Structure 1
């Protein structure tokens, strides 16, 4: 028998404030429009956290929904992993704040920082904890408040990002050890630090002592994205012993509709096999995959037995993918 990390509950949280593209049109000096934003990104609106609303608070809200969906209590969870690039504090981790927020007094919690690829990295870590026997149930969360690190004078970046959180609970279950098993079948992680200058925040504790704002070379990121996302997903599918025709749903990082459609074209899959939420959420970085996955489940599109492939690329550059059966 093989131990698999099987999804048993999912949930998401979005801040109340919805920001349509029209708000950016009205910003003095930004020189953008709804048509310009939609044509380049596919984004129509996004959510921004309220004043005083933190990454950990959103993560707790998403976690509570995932626990409810799974029919579990916080005490049933052994570990929490939060993927985020926008923590409440330099330390302690957001994950320990979530642990406290849920009333957990046992287990362990830590953060993973791989920017937009963070949730994929967190899933891979959770899977490793489960298959090695270190945890029976792991709560995996992606949560971001990217609205706090925007340069509001840069129309090429500030219109792209949003805030939110998504949470997935993985549980150890014995399986036959075949590609028909439920749960995570394969993971693939990659990074190349030589591309740091393509996407970064120009601040930090040990350099400037400031938070900084996001800087991105959009054309270069796009150029790397489609190629690397296709490569990592293909590798993970091969590891899982399945092929592109077996995929029921692609649940990609929701960065840009052009990247998503370009990747789907490379896969040779129609867009109706892709869960797309970028139009409503914008790019929520590490939160985007669990948000999209939760929406897919909530809408009844993702069903038990469906084969999913998730893939993401973010600053670092860091990229990766996970193949799982729901």
Structure 2
């Protein structure tokens, strides 16, 4: 027998305001066609002025708890993956804890930019397997619209706001690759590549800053590193690419998603794609896609799911789980 972290609930939240590509044509030298061709993005959601990352996270958490048939009292810990927390401190996770009315347990944030949810899921799994927690709410939430340079047409059209959440629960498995739950994880980072994707401001530099990205360079690293991390995680679970029912990738760019699937030898029919509707929601993109994928009837209990992501740092990783 082996303790496994099993997904028992999933949910998401998207802000009301939908921003189609055409809205950028008014202020930038760009077109709907150019954005669609280069990224696959058609629209994204932007948070309202009074809506913060912890607000989005709380709504996604409530949806995931409802899906699991649980309440905040059933949760031992909250891990929020975000690069756009409401305040410098405290963590967005403690704000979610308060908004949910959860007065016990613990909560903290994880910061690995677009790879944040994979890092959060890996940490939550470790907490469960080590006996530190029985049920963990894992949330990815972002308001990237707050760090955009609206004059930079190469970046500001790519990102959106949103949140997704999972409830992980300790369950007994047989210790085989047929178990439900998280079967393997793989995390990586290489700080030498900082200049490819970063925000040019922060607390100790005393400015908020804007997102800066060398898109071509990030693209060059993405397909190779995403394929390798996914295959490494599968191998450590004793599985191969042909065992995969669904790739649920970080939704950054349709060309990266297509390139990774092709390199893994899997058809796009086995990939959950939401980038057209959400844009790049950074740490929120994988849990958003998992929730939408379940809603659409794509992801079903027993399916083998691989999530993979790469983001600023560079940081990248993958999680293999049986739904």
The TM-score with structure 1 as length reference comes to 0.99
Structure 2 stretches of 5 or more lacking a match?
none
Structure 1 position 301, deviation (Å):
0.9
User: Paired residue for 2:288?
Assistant: 291
CA deviation profile, 1:18-45 (whole Å, cap 9, x unmatched): 0000000111xx2000000000000000
CA distance in 2, matches of 1:199, 1:45: 22
Once the two structures are superposed, the pairs formed by residues 240-319 of structure 1 within 5 Å of their partners are 240-319=237-316
CA deviation profile, 1:285-307 (whole Å, cap 9, x unmatched): 00000000000001111000000
User: Paired residue for 1:162?
Assistant: 160
Once the two structures are superposed, the pairs formed by residues 14-25 of structure 1 within 5 Å of their partners are 14-25=14-25
- Number of positions where the alignment pairs a residue of Structure 1 with one of Structure 2: 323
CA distance in 1, matches of 2:202, 2:46: 23
User: Paired residue for 1:72?
Assistant: 70
CA distance in 1, matches of 2:95, 2:272: 30
SS at match of 1:106: coil
SS at match of 2:86: coil
User: Paired residue for 2:211?
Assistant: 214
Structure 1 position 227, deviation (Å):
0.4
User: Paired residue for 2:100?
Assistant: 102
CA distance in 1, matches of 2:311, 2:285: 12
SS at match of 1:220: helix
Once the two structures are superposed, the pairs formed by residues 1-326 of structure 1 within 5 Å of their partners are 1-27=1-27, 30-207=28-205, 209-326=206-323
Structure 1 position 120, deviation (Å):
0.1
SS at match of 1:98: helix
The ranges of structure 1 where at least 4 consecutive aligned residues each deviate by more than 6 angstroms after the TM superposition are none
CA deviation profile, 1:293-326 (whole Å, cap 9, x unmatched): 0000011110000000000000000000000000
CA deviation profile, 1:127-159 (whole Å, cap 9, x unmatched): 000000000000000000000000000000000
CA distance in 2, matches of 1:146, 1:88: 12
CA distance in 2, matches of 1:91, 1:139: 20
Structure 1 position 249, deviation (Å):
0.2
SS at match of 1:130: helix
CA distance in 1, matches of 2:208, 2:259: 33
CA distance in 2, matches of 1:200, 1:222: 15
CA RMSD after TM alignment? 0.3
